[in-house]
Structure 1
C-alpha cells in the first residue's frame, strides 16, 4: 500500500467503510506492533499497547483532519499508549535491541553494520527514537515531530546530534 492508497483508505474508513479500515489494519498493524516492541521490549505488553492504540484509532478516525498523516497519527497513538503504561508502572525501560533485531543473519551483514546497530542502541532514548523513526520507518521529520510532540527543529537537532555522536564513535 502506498501513501495515496493509505490516504484513500483512511477517507473511506472515516465514512464508515469497514473493509477500508480492515485493509488499514492489515497493512499497518505489524509496523505499529514493531514500534510498540521497540518502545517497551515486551511482546505481551507491545500487543496490549497495539490493541489499545487500534481501539483508539477505530473510535477516533473520523476526527483525523488530515488523512495523509494517518501513519504518523497511528504511531503517535501507540507512543502515547506506551507513555500511559510507563506512567502506570512508574518506570521507563531503556531501548534495547529486540529479539527480532538480534536474529539478523550476520552472514549478510558486515561487521561495521553490526557495530553501528550496537552504537545506535547506546544513543540517548530521544535520539534513538528519532533515528529509528527516520531511518528504519522512513518517516519525515514533521511526522516524527508529530509523534513525539516536539518541534521540527528539535527532531532535526536530535538527528544531527545522533549522527555526530555515531561518527565520533565510529572514528574511535
Structure 2
C-alpha cells in the first residue's frame, strides 16, 4: 500500500491534473464499489450496471481535469452515474420505441414534508430476500427521475441538499419530486403490505422499509 492510498480525494485529483495516471487509478479503486452499487440499484441488472459504471469512470477520466471542487468528488461522481443512467435509458427506449418518462412542471408544486412513521420494523431475516426482490421490482417501475431520487435518498441515504447538487435542481424541486416519487412507490407496494408486516395503509413508513431491506 502506497502513501497515495491515504491521500485525500483533493490531493489525488491534483496529482491527476499534473499527469499522474496512478492517482486516477486510486480514485477508481476508492469509488468503484459505490459506483457499481448505485448503477446496479438503478438498473437492477449486473451487466447493465457494469456498463453504466464503466461509462461513468470513462466520463470521469475525460472530465476530471476540469473538476473545480464546487462539490465533493462523491457528489460529482454520483451525478455522472445518474447522467450515464439517463443516457442509457434513452438509448434503450429508442431501441424499444418507448418514451422516456420525464418530470413535468406539476411535479414542482410545494408541499409539506410528511412525518415518517418509524414504528414498523420489517427486518425479519427469513423474509428479507423476498422483500428485497419486491422492493427492487417496485423501484424499477418508477419513472427514471423518480427512481434516481428514491435510490439516492432512501437507499444511498444522501441528504436533500446533496441530491439537489447531483440532479442540478433547486432544493424545493427535489423535495417536491421526491415526495411524489415516495407516494408512487407506496402505491406500487400496496399489494405487499403483509409481506412487510404493515397492517395499515403502506402510505406510512414503506420508504423507510425500502432503505432498511436494501
User: Partner residue of 1:73?
Assistant: 76
User: Relative to structure 2, which stretch is displaced further, 120-129 or 38-47?
Assistant: 120-129
Report the Cα offset of residue 79 of structure 1.
1.5
Unaligned 5+ runs, structure 1: 95-104
User: Partner residue of 2:148?
Assistant: 129
**TM value normalised by structure 1:** 0.68
**TM value normalised by structure 2:** 0.57
Conservation of the 8 A alpha-carbon contact between 1:11 and 1:67 = no
Distance 1:134 1:9, change over 3 A: farther
Task: Give the root-mean-square deviation of aligned CA atoms.
Answer: 3.7
Matched ranges for 1:150-165 at <5 A = 150-160=169-179, 162=182
Distance 1:68 1:151, change over 3 A: closer
Distance 1:120 1:133, change over 3 A: farther
Conservation of the 8 A alpha-carbon contact between 1:13 and 1:21 = yes
* Runs of 4+ with >6 A deviation: none
Unaligned 5+ runs, structure 2: 1-6, 102-122, 187-199, 206-214
Q: Distance in 2 between matches of 1:88 and 1:18?
A: 31
Structure of larger gyration radius: 2
Conservation of the 8 A alpha-carbon contact between 1:6 and 1:68 = no
Q: More helix by proportion, 1 or 2?
A: 1
Deviations 1:80-132 (A, max 9, x none): 112212211214899xxxxxxxxxx842888xxx59x8499469444453232
Q: Distance in 2 between matches of 1:7 and 1:67?
A: 12
Give the total of aligned pairs. 155
Report the Cα offset of residue 40 of structure 1.
1.5
Conservation of the 8 A alpha-carbon contact between 2:13 and 2:23 = yes
2:125 corresponds to 1:107: yes
